[in-house]
């Protein structure tokens, strides 16, 4: 973690108690770091890096504190994004979109699902060509929000909630949403490239695996305990390759894209942070587009 800089009186460090205290939001977590505004104990997940020390989420939302002028720099997340009043808003919106599309699929039936699922190139019952190769590019995105089975959406949304609660506060809204969408499309692109053209696939698993890969990168960067995450990743990879009916291509495509994007986001040098972060996103997206164009050319 970067050493915070101080004011004219010398470098300032996070306040430390005489022995560890418990995070005010997570009482089960001991910590020696306190908010430099309200002096409450905060754990690494809750601390928000600022120009002076670390702040707790409540003080960031209120925007109050002694010794901080109105013109002070707005506190930033670990990856440099602005701290939001609701650090989980994008995750909640993504959950809502997935549930809404699932409800629509449940109400409208197979025809709705057939129109939005990922298909490379196929012939529908009327004899019409359909699929990404026939110009239906939207399927690469809509399939990421589409589910048919209750167990499928339940597993994906539980994973989204768990991973999103860790990643969104650390990355910030824009970076987190960019990571999610590119990972999802990258998973669709690898499925489009390697799966049979007439094989229909759907689900948010590519995006979820992108979040999982990013969480591993973030945890390693922040020196968190890695064993639970590595175990979770290994278990998911075993399920990916040995559970029947799973589009492993989407999982691997999302995982690789998410990990690469996260590396660019959490390791970017502070002085060129935005350039490196969004440049990494652009490179991953460009590689995804090349895959899609190449596969389309092969199929047509």
Q: Which residues are catalytic?
A: 205, 251
- Our separate counts of H helices and E strands in the chain read 10, 6
Q: In DSSP terms, which residues pair with 34 in a beta bridge?
A: 15, 41
Q: Encoding tokens for residue 258?
A: 């998410």
What string of DSSP letters covers 119-181? -SSEE-TTS-EESGGGT-TTHHHHGGG---SHHHHHHHHHHHHHHHHHHHHHH-HHHHHHHHH
Q: What is the DSSP letter of 2?
A: P
Q: Encoding tokens for residue 236?
A: 């998911």
Given its phi and psi angles, is residue 84 left (phi above 0), alpha (psi -120 to 50 degrees) or beta?
beta
Phi, psi dihedrals of residue 138, rounded to the nearest 5°: -60, -25
Write down the residue that tokens 């997935």 correspond to.
Answer: 98
Which residues does 292 contact at the CB level (< 8 Å), separation at least 6? 132, 137, 140, 189, 192, 193
In angstroms, rounded to a whole number, what is the distance separating the alpha carbons of residues 146 and 102? 6
């Amino acid at each position: 973690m970067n050493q915070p800089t101080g004011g004219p009186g010398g470098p300032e460090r996070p306040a430390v108690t005489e022995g560890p205290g418990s995070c005010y939001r997570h009482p089960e977590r001991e910590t020696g770091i306190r908010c430099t505004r309200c002096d409450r104990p905060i754990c690494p997940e809750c601390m928000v890096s600022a120009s002076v020390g670390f702040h707790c989420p409540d003080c960031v939302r209120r925007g109050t504190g002694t010794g901080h002028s109105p013109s002070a720099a707005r506190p930033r997340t670990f990856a440099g994004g602005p701290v939001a009043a609701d650090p989980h808003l994008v995750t909640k919106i993504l959950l809502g979109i997935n549930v809404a599309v699932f409800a629509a699929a449940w109400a409208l039936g197979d025809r709705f699902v057939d129109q939005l699922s990922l298909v490379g190139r196929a012939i529908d019952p009327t004899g019409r060509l359909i699929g990404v190769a026939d110009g239906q590019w939207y399927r690469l995105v809509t399939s990421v929000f589409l589910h048919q089975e209750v167990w499928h959406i339940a597993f994906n949304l539980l994973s989204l909630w768990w991973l999103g609660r860790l990643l969104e506060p650390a990355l910030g809204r824009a970076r987190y949403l960019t990571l999610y969408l590119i990972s999802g499309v990258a998973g669709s692109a690898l499925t489009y490239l390697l799966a049979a053209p007439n094989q229909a696939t759907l689900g948010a698993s590519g995006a979820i695996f992108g979040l999982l890969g990013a969480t591993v990168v973030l945890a390693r960067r922040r020196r968190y305990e890695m064993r639970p995450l590595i175990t979770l990743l290994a278990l998911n990879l075993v399920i990916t390759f040995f559970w029947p009916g799973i589009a492993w291509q989407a999982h691997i495509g999302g995982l690789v894209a998410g990990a690469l994007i996260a590396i660019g986001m959490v390791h970017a040098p502070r002085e060129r942070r935005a350039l490196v972060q969004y440049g990494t996103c652009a490179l991953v997206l460009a590689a995804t587009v090349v895959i899609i164009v190449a596969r389309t050319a092969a199929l047509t």
